[in-house]
Amino acid sequence: APKAKAAVAQKAAKASPQLRWLASQLGELEAQRDSGPPWLIDPHWWHIAQLQELQKHLESGTLTDLPQELREGVEFYASQFAGGQSASEEEFYDDREMYQEVLKSLRAEAAPEGPYQRAKKSLKQGDKHTSAWTRGEEAILRKLSTPAKIQGFLDSLHYDGSDHYWSVRATLRSGSAHCMGGAILASYCLHQNGYGPPRVVGFDAKNDDTHAVAVYQVNGYWGAIGKSNFTLIRARDPVYRSLRELMMSYFDFYFNTKREKSMMGYTRPFNLERTGQDWKFAEGPIEDVLKDFDDVKKTPWIPVRPPGMRESSLLPASKAILQAGLLGSNPKGLFKPR
């Protein structure tokens, strides 16, 4: 028995970082499955099966790397019951689409490759993005080295009342931004300064504008940077234990000009790196680049309100809070509620 244990330990030590990560996630999910509520068993079994399939591909060499997007998705899934967290069945977010891209590519590699696929792959491999920052752009971005400096820069920009999504470059050149443009720029700066991947979270709202912020983590705690026409739904310090905790900190301050609480849900963090380079360098609108972010099937909303909750049970924002929220706002960019 001691020899067998030593062999297992030696094998684990030689395993790639990807395999070690997979093993840790499998161990976490198996422990949660065994100790969690009964309704958690089925979804955890399903995710464990997907991870075990990926594990086999890594061990056989047919898969050499796990996409960052997938790793983040699995970690977010597991985090709902990790470290003392305990999501209810209604709050629980079960994303089963995050494995599809990897598994689909593995199946495609196993199938014979036709001339069209070979030509398409060749074109893709030769299509290198040549965009780079100008000296002026670099000078600005280099200064935005902390969350406080990034938020201060966003606050200094004029509020953009348009409906388009703009790249980092377009925002720098225009000197204006709305929530999405600000979130994109902030996520880039956070990523460059070691605060994790460039991630954006969207907010869904009823009878009000939607919203978006850049999210980041410090020692596992979540924070956010944001641009908004309302002062109260911008930045949050990295003191929140979970993404949901961070998002719920916006609820009481997310209201329309009629003082009605309007926040309905939020998305899982969307990694901008999965979209290529245009989110950084494009000079025109980039809605097409971020179509997966806007697609509710690929980036679904996670509800924040209890099922069946009535609007009448929500307290309206006070007039004083409304005035604080509108401080310095651009009237042209304000949503006009029904």
pLDDT digits (tens, 9 = 90+) for 39-65: 788 788 788 888 888 888 888 888 888
Give 171's contacts (C-beta < 8 A, 6+ positions apart): 157, 177, 181, 182, 184, 185
Instruction: Please give the average per-residue pLDDT across 294-311, as a whole number.
Output: 90
Residue 107's pLDDT is: 61
Domain ranges of the chain: 15-109, 135-326
Q: What is the pLDDT of residues 77-92, one digit of tens each?
A: 899 988 777 888 878 8
Give the C-alpha separation, 269 to 271, whole Å. 6
For residue 159, CA distances in Å to 117, 150, 256, 270 come to: 45, 16, 17, 23
User: 85 and 91 in contact (C-beta within 8 Å)?
Assistant: no
Instruction: Kindly state the tokens that stand for 5.
Output: 């244990």
Q: Is the pLDDT of residue 118 over 60?
A: no
Task: Indicate if the alpha-carbon torsion angle 188, 189, 193, 195 is positive or negative.
Answer: negative
Instruction: Please give the average per-residue pLDDT across 303-323, as a whole number.
Output: 93
Instruction: Kindly state the tokens that stand for 102.
Output: 């990897």
Q: What is the pLDDT of residues 223-259, one digit of tens each?
A: 999 999 999 999 999 999 999 999 999 999 999 999 9
Give the C-alpha separation, 52 to 251, whole Å. 38
Q: What is the pLDDT of residues 135-155, one digit of tens each?
A: 889 989 999 999 999 999 999
Q: Is the pLDDT of residue 212 over 50?
A: yes
User: 175 and 158 in contact (C-beta within 8 Å)?
Assistant: yes
Residue 110's pLDDT is: 53
